[in-house]
Every structure is written in C-alpha cells, then in structure tokens.
Amino acid sequence: MTMIQADGLPLPNTWRPLRLQTLVLLRWLAVGGQAVGVLFVYFGLGFPLPLVECFLLIAVSAAVNLWLIVRLGPSHRPSSLFAASQIAFDLLQLGGLLALTGGLQNPFSLLLLAPVSVSATTLPQRSAYIIALLAAVIASVLSVWHLPLPWDPLERIVFNRIYVIGIWVSIICGVVFISAYTNRVAHDARQIADALAATELALSRKEQLSALDGLAAAAAHELGTPLSTIALAAKEMRADAEPGSDLASDVELIIEQAARCRAILAKLRNLGSDGGDPFAAVPITDLLAEVARPHEAHGKAILFYYERSAGPAPVFVRSVGLLYGLGNLIENAADFARATVKIEAAWDREAISVTITDDGPGFAPELIARLGEPYLTSRPRDPQGPDASKPGGLGLGVFIAKTLLERTGGRLAFQNLAPNGHAQVRIVWPRTAIEAEIQ
C-alpha cells in the first residue's frame, strides 16, 4: 500500500503488490514446461531418468497452485513476504528437478535465474536479496550433489570439472547482476513513478485554484442577466408603490441588494484581469515579484536585481507549472536563508536566466550532484531527533520544481557560492522557447 503523508503526497514505496493471478500464471507456465521437458527426454529421446520423482515434484507445484486459487482467489494481493515465499518455493522445486536430472550439467540450470529476475523486479530490496542468496546456495549444492545427467545408456558422457565450475560461476554472476542491477533499476523506476504522481497531484491542486477565476467569471456572466431582470422589475414596482408604504420600503431594499450583487459580480468578472489569470502574459520582473510576495512574511529580506542587457523585460505566459516551480525554489531559499534571499534576472537575445541565492548553510556537498532526484532531502523526518523542531520533507520539492520548470523549457543548475554555504539555483530558458509560447 502506498503510504500518504499529512500533506497528501505519497511516501516512497518499494513494494507494489502483484496480483496472485500473476504468480499463479508464472507457475502454471513452469509446470507445463517442466512436464513437457521431462516427457520429451524420457519418451522422445529415450533417456533414463527418475520419472516418478520428477512428476511428484511437478505435481506438488501444481497442487500448491490449485490450493492458492481456491483458498485466496486470483485477484488476491499478497504481501511481500508471501510473494517472496512463493518465489522461494518455485526456486526450491526447480532445484529439486535439476538435482534429479544432472544438476548444473543440465542445460536448463540456467532457469535458476528466472525466479531471481522476478523477485528483483517485483519485491522489496531485502526480499530480492534473500531470493538471490537462496539461488546461489542451490547452485552451489547442485555443483557437488546431483544424479547423473539423463543420456544415452550406450554412450558415456563425462564433463570436465573445470567446465562445471565455469557453469557455476556464470550462474552466480548472473544471480548477482540481476539481483543488484535489475532491482536497483526497478526501484528507481518505482520512485520516479511515485514522485511524478506527487507532482501531478500538486500541479492539479494549483490548476484547481487557478480555475476558480474562470468559474467565477462564468458564474458572474450567467447571473448578470437574471439579476438585471430583477432590478428592472423592482424599479417598475417602485413606480406603482405608494411612497412611505411597507411595499415601497421592501422594493427599495430589493433594488439596493440587487445593486450590491451587481457590484460583487463585477469584481468576479475582473478577477482574470487583475493578475489572477494563469494564462496572461506578464514581464519576468512582475512574475518574480508576484511569486516571491507570499514568502516575504518569513522575516527574510527578498532582494531583486535585474540586468537589462537586451531591451525591455521578456514576457512569460503565467502557467501553473512556472508559478509553482519558481515559488517552490523561492520558498526553499526563504526557509534556509539566515537573513537575505537574492533574486536576479538577466536576459539577452539568446537566453533568459533567473538566479535565486540565499545566505543559508547551502546544499549538502554530497547531495549537489543528485539534486532534482525524487525523495532526496537533507531535512529531518524523525520527530524524536535533535532537529525535530525544524521542517521536515519528502525531498520532492526540488524534484517537482525541476520537473515543472523543465516542462517550460528551462534548465536548472545547483551550486554553493562559498564553502560555508550560500546556495544558488540558476534557471536558464532559451529566448526562442519563451517567445514561441507567447505567440
């Protein structure tokens, strides 16, 4: 289950439960392949092998499958421990079959890598490593203890010991590579998927807030006509009412409240023209001032510097992603700054840049090269730790900001200006990309 933090963003999770049907289907494929292989060797090639013992192991695997379907149902979502136990069972059953049919000399010994691959891509890291260790142990046992390889009784076959050791080494190398590399790749893919889901969630919330302006303007437009009709009817009633009567005072109240409603609707209609329209074009100087305004209350001084090297300030489309990304970086700078946050904007005919610098402790040196990856944070999450009073985080803020700003065409770079801190984030947009959005 994906865990959710208080702010609504999903916590990183390395286990996404598979349906039991998937494990059962893989086992049925193994059972079918094993049965066909044993029958072909015994009847097709005429090689002697312990047929009863082999089919007993295959029947046990099939019986376990049937029990799982009846007991739990194909749509059941097993826990990671249960899934690991099923893959371990398949590995042991395969090891038993190989022990009866030649051990590592059997060319099908390569199939020992299959359960390792399944566990590496679907199980948490610890469970995947346990499965890999079990596969290595089984391969080692098979290298020294097994029944003879089924072969033509009239022809003697002998494998050099060095050749068998080579097969063992290749299987161990395959187990190590699959369990380490494949599991890491799958883990990173799951992290990226979770983080992108969190990004979409944050962006959708911003879009919902931005859409309120359009809804308000639409509501004002729809309500304007019936309200005008009410005001017109009330004025006609006032002309017919006797002055000083209760009816006249009620009519005056209706006219007064209708005028008040019209004033409110006029304000709603103007929301899109007073800076609230997320698709309005705005100079970069005004955009930065707007994004930084909510963070000026943190008690930190936010200073603006503009380098006008190529005419007037470039104009940006006020997209939700741009506002959220810049706001996130400025908020981080204000959180960690000691006293001052400096925002610099510069532009020429080729590019537009925004640089955000704070006078705080800076980025952790070991994290600079990885900034922008999901779930990377130096903020404490332990409520019992020494820094429990400081804000914690999931490490998604910079990832979300980087993702959203790159969607607008920007490229981000992170550095510390001094050994003792002063973190700096620099965003650069090609001038052509920004002008294309305006057009």
CA dihedral of 424, 198, 290, 286, whole degrees rounded to 10: 70
**What's the distance, CA 362 to chain centroid?**
26
What pLDDT score does 309 carry? 66
Residues 6+ apart with CB under 8 A from 277: 213, 271, 318
d(CA 37, CA 41): 6
User: 62-107, pLDDT tens digit by residue?
Assistant: 999 899 888 887 777 788 888 888 889 999 999 999 999 988 888 8
- CA proximity to 267, closest of 189, 213, 338: 213
CB 141 within 8 A of CB 95: yes
Beta bridge partners of 423: 416
For residue 384, give the 3-state DSSP assignment: coil
User: 175-191, pLDDT tens digit by residue?
Assistant: 888 887 777 777 666 66
What pLDDT score does 263 carry? 73
Amino acid in the structure at residue 122:
T
CB 100 within 8 A of CB 49: yes
User: 114-128, pLDDT tens digit by residue?
Assistant: 888 888 887 887 888
The rounded radius of gyration (Å) of the Cα atoms in the chain is 35
What pLDDT score does 219 carry? 65
Asked whether residue 383 carries a pLDDT value surpassing 50, the answer given is no
68 or 400, higher pLDDT:
68
d(CA 399, CA 43): 61
Q: How many CB atoms lie within 10 A of CB 98?
A: 23
What pLDDT score does 382 carry? 42
pLDDT band at residue 197, thresholds of 50, 70 and 90?
A: low
d(CA 374, CA 328): 15
d(CA 149, CA 96): 14
Lowest mean pLDDT among 75-84, 193-202, 237-246: 193-202
Beta bridge partners of 340: 301
- Encoded tokens for 120: 């590496």
Task: Give, in degrees to the nearest 5, the angle at Cα 314 between 312 and 317.
Answer: 145
User: 261-316, pLDDT tens digit by residue?
Assistant: 877 777 655 554 444 454 468 888 888 988 888 887 667 888 888 876 667 888 88
- Encoded tokens for 412: 């981000």
What pLDDT score does 213 carry? 52
What pLDDT score does 206 carry? 57
pLDDT band at residue 390, thresholds of 50, 70 and 90?
A: very low
Residues 6+ apart with CB under 8 A from 23: 68, 78, 83, 86, 87
Instruction: Compute CA distances 141 → 259, 261, 290, 360, whole Å.
Output: 91, 85, 69, 58
Asked whether residue 212 carries a pLDDT value surpassing 70, the answer given is no
CB 220 within 8 A of CB 265: yes
- CA proximity to 329, closest of 367, 275, 292: 292
Residues 6+ apart with CB under 8 A from 315: 281, 282, 283, 284, 434, 438
Instruction: Compute CA distances 85 → 70, 78, 134, 386, whole Å.
Output: 18, 10, 11, 39
In the predicted model, what is the mean pLDDT of residues 341-366?
A: 89
DSSP state of 12: P
What pLDDT score does 135 carry? 92
Average pLDDT score over the chain? 78
Asked whether residue 406 carries a pLDDT value surpassing 80, the answer given is yes
Lowest mean pLDDT among 66-75, 204-213, 388-397, 424-433: 388-397
pLDDT band at residue 228, thresholds of 50, 70 and 90?
A: confident
Q: Concatenated DSSP letters for 152-218?
A: -TTS-----HHHHHHHHHHHHHHHHHIIIIIHHHHHHHHHHHHHHHHHHHHHHHHHHHHHHHHHHHH
User: 412-423, pLDDT tens digit by residue?
Assistant: 989 998 887 889
What pLDDT score does 35 carry? 92
Q: What are phi and psi of 39, to 5 degrees?
A: -65, -40
What pLDDT score does 39 carry? 92
Lowest mean pLDDT among 55-69, 73-87, 202-216, 312-326: 202-216
> What percentage of the chain carries pLDDT values higher than 70?
76
Beta bridge partners of 301: 340
Angle between helices 397-407 and 320-336 in degrees, nearest 10 = 140
